Structure 1
Amino acid sequence: MAKRRAPRRDDQVDAVRTINWFRTLCEHVGEERPRYIQCALDPDSLSESAYGKKIPNSKFKFYAEGKHVPSTAFVEKVEQVVKGSSWALNHVLWSVLRERGLIGKYARDWVRELVPEIQSLVFTSDNELRLNGNRHYVGSLERRASVDGLTALTILLKLSTEAGDAEQAWNFAHSIFRVLLIIGPELDEQTIAERVFDLYASRIFPLVSFNGLVMDFENYPFLKMTHTLGVFADRLRQQYGSYRDRKMPSFYALQILNGQHYDLKDLLQPPVKQTTPVPIASA
């Protein structure tokens, strides 16, 4: 097992994961205002005024804004009360997005931190990571649209670029885009959807080019597009009523992305641009 380095400071990633953690606490307490979260989960940190009144400090306000990462000890303390909250802060996705260098020595360990269902898809019977796959393979990960599925696809994309397999990396990039659209509303509930997409637009998608094309997300209205997909997917669920509980949550969204309903396939494709000059035909 490769020795994991301590996380380096990364303001962009740290802000997203801290906000994600704070929003998990909000859901547990049923309140969004930082002072109420502090009173509920960390009353010992309240200062006392001359009149004996407990006064919150700015610590939780900084967490809410992603300006200060909570200490490991405090995260563990809160985990005892809000089970699963540490997952929001320390999910392996943040390590994958943070890493700017080669990831080969970390990749297997990262995948082993994902849910067993994802691991069973990504690992071969020889305990190797499955880098090459057809549409059925990437589709199986898309159907399990989640933070874990997104993480697996991101690892596979990075490994494909390192291996020089531009076509496979391009396929993974498209799948990542589709998963981001599907889970975007959930990320937006945590108020991190745009921040997560910006990380992908600046750090992941630029790694990939194929046949002279790159994905171009300058001024891309991600929130509008992800909520558009969500609205139409919900319409399909309502339309098919009794069948909805038999389908994965991603089922109807993927039908729309595949062009089976509403004629939105072209609208929900990732925008691309040419990076190499198109040859001019001779007269």
Structure 2
Amino acid sequence: MRPLHIALAFLVAVIWGANFVVIKLALTGFPPILLTALRFTLACLPVLFIPRPAGIGFKQLVLVSTFLFTGHYIFLFVGMDQGMAPGLASIVLQCQAFLTMLFAAGMLGERPKAQQLVGAGVAALGLVVTGSTVGLDVTWIGFILTLLAAASWAMGNVLMRRLPPTPTLPLMVWLSTVPPLPVLALSLLVEGPDRVWTALTGFGWTAGLSLLYIVCLSTLVAFGIWGMLLREYKAGVVAPFSLLVPVTGTLAAYLVFGETFSPLRLLGMALLFAGIVITILPLRKRQTVTA
């Protein structure tokens, strides 16, 4: 990769890692389901200038977005609102990597390789160890909802693989048109009109700027750069940079909130991260010479 593109890949990892801290700040002003609705309401505005990707119907957009966006972010935002720490969330959410592999095996008939099975096993062990530390600083409901967010993201990944090839940014924008109205309706039903109105009319600068970060930087800018890199290079070259997201996420949580981890939780997070690395990173095959 060219030095500029390496720098851009690192930038995306920093943006996405810091996003977990920013979500926690946004939740100080917005209830979680409303925050989800607002995120995608603003993220879909470029649809006025970007045509719908060719060959993708509305039903396909709805199906993919329901898992990739709606379920993913409602579970994540509610989980973090209910006590999931941002640094730990940045690690647990990456379970989507091996969950995607498992779902693809069941739905697409893609048989996982031995390396991927080993990685999934190590990550699952890390998840069990991490889960055993859930207690005073992290709630069970927050932990489970974050796992559901990872599962919803993984299902969205599998469903998206059924779509015809298309540039990433237009696809993200058009997928963002699906959640706003149904998620806003859910917010009014669950969080209540009074709470929604109070949040919309009384949020502070911290929550407002955090919402803009989530929409502009985390969604549009980062996904736009990521899509450009995937068009320039093979996925195997670009994808490993996503492993920096939990690293930057835990560092940002430490710097902003002073989030620390017990030795047992560090062990679980390390196992989980190692399993994801084994699952994602390709092993270099030995070269053979044939006569």
So what's the TM-score if we normalise by structure 1? 0.26
**Which one has the bigger helix percentage?**
2
Larger radius of gyration: 1
TM-score by length of structure 2 reads 0.25
The higher relative CO (CA closer than 8 Å, separation ≥ 6) is in 2
